[in-house]
Amino acid sequence: MTARTSHRGTVVLGVSSSIAAYKAADLTSKLVQSGVDVHVVMTQNATNLVRPQTFRTLSQHPVITDLWSVPDWRPEHIALAELAQVLVIAPATANVLAKLANGIADDALTTFALAHEGPLIVAPAMNPRMWRNPAVRENCRRLQGRGVTIVAPESGRVACGTDTEPGRLADVSRIVSTTLAHLAGLSLRRDSTDRQKILVTAGPTREVIDPVRFISNKSSGKMGYACAEMALAAGHDVTLISGPAATAPPPGCRFIAIESAADMAVTVRREFPDCNLLIMCAAVGDYRPATPAQQKIKKTKGKLTLTLERTEDILAIVASLRKPTQKVVGFAAETVNVDANAVEKLHAKKLDMIVANDVSRQDAGFGTDENVVTLYLPDGTKHSLPRMLKIDVAAEILRHTLPL
């Protein structure tokens, strides 16, 4: 087994015999491109779908397919278990889920899974009828009860032609994001007595103009979702309140969907008293139409004037409810005077930290997977971060706010 350094860590990717096995090649490639050292373990049946040489080429490591091809004196699965930090099984068949749930180890992959002591991420892929089978769902519940992260399958076309029910392997980008979060989360993990309740807001809000139009902003929700995913990977209980976003909620969070700034204000008011840390990442609209039209506004030759009114100041609401044991992190999305505006907001809102970013940049921020931010603390401390993935920004935010 060759050793290779990586700034992120080492992942074992388990590949089982779903037709989605070919997507595991893309997953391997994207993890390697992200700086992850990937070792692949395949079931024998999976090798009938994708040749091991594909994964050997992409990972630059030998591929384990059975327990009897041992290159040195140590059992290969034990040697690899000592090296691996996270185990990802994608795709995971119903058969593999059953074996994992019941501790069966009858091949290289399931034997390695029993030897692995770190985080386990499982991405099922199968026919929708199989996915909704009570036995499969019960096996998933048992695994989740042991702390396994299940990246649930998505609706879409599968091998049998069905495209309306879940069963298809989750998008590779979701699996990559979850994996990177768990790698980064290893350094943030605490024991069970330090488990915190973390509330995250994310995404844009929409303010109705008429039944078919609304005012919104360019927020994709990716930064807030990354914060939620990182907090989950670090072992905390997470509630995510989100406006409309295209990103799927991280597996394991309690998810609350909202639409408007008023919805967000009501939900934060309800959820905040029970949390230890609030990360207020949502891009909440500052104004809304004072009187939304009940019918669609028809186009005319003249100008249309909308009268706008201020929305609720959610951080002011939080300040009135806040207990001394709670921390609040805010965000400042600015286009000019970024530093000055962020520091002013930090002190005016009495925040424990503010995360400032210049959203006029084209290479980071809204809609991208990367961000360039500066963290400001009330004592004047300033941490300027280089451009990095939003999941890594989330890790830095938690690193500077936890433990409470």
Residue 367, classed as helix, strand or coil, is: coil
Single-letter code of the amino acid located at 109:
L
- Tokens linked to 170: 């989750």
Radius of gyration of the chain (CA): 23
Whole-angstrom distance, CA of residue 103 vs CA of residue 100: 5
- Tokens linked to 63: 């591929």
Q: Any idea how long the chain is? A: 404
**369 — phi, psi (to 5°)?**
-90, -5
Whole-angstrom distance, CA of residue 24 vs CA of residue 55: 9
Catalytic residues: 160
Burial per residue of 356-371, b for 16 or more beta-carbon CB atoms within 10 angstroms, e otherwise? bbbbeeeebbbebbbb
Alpha carbon of residue 281 to chain centroid: 14
Half-sphere exposure of 155 (CA within 13 A, CB side): 4
Distances (CA, A) of 334 to 292, 341, 350: 28, 8, 19
Q: What is the DSSP string of 316-348?
A: HHHHHH--TT-EEEEEEEESSSHHHHHHHHHHH
- Tokens linked to 348: 């005016």
- Tokens linked to 263: 């919805």
Strand partners, 213: 210
Whole-angstrom distance, CA of residue 179 vs CA of residue 362: 27
Pairing, β 154-155 against β 166-168: antiparallel
Whether residue 402 contacts residue 241, with contact meaning beta carbons closer than 8 Å, is answered with no
Nearest to 362 by CA among 370, 354, 352: 370
| Residue 46 backbone zone (phi > 0: left; psi -120 to 50: alpha; other: beta) | alpha
Single-letter code of the amino acid located at 231:
A
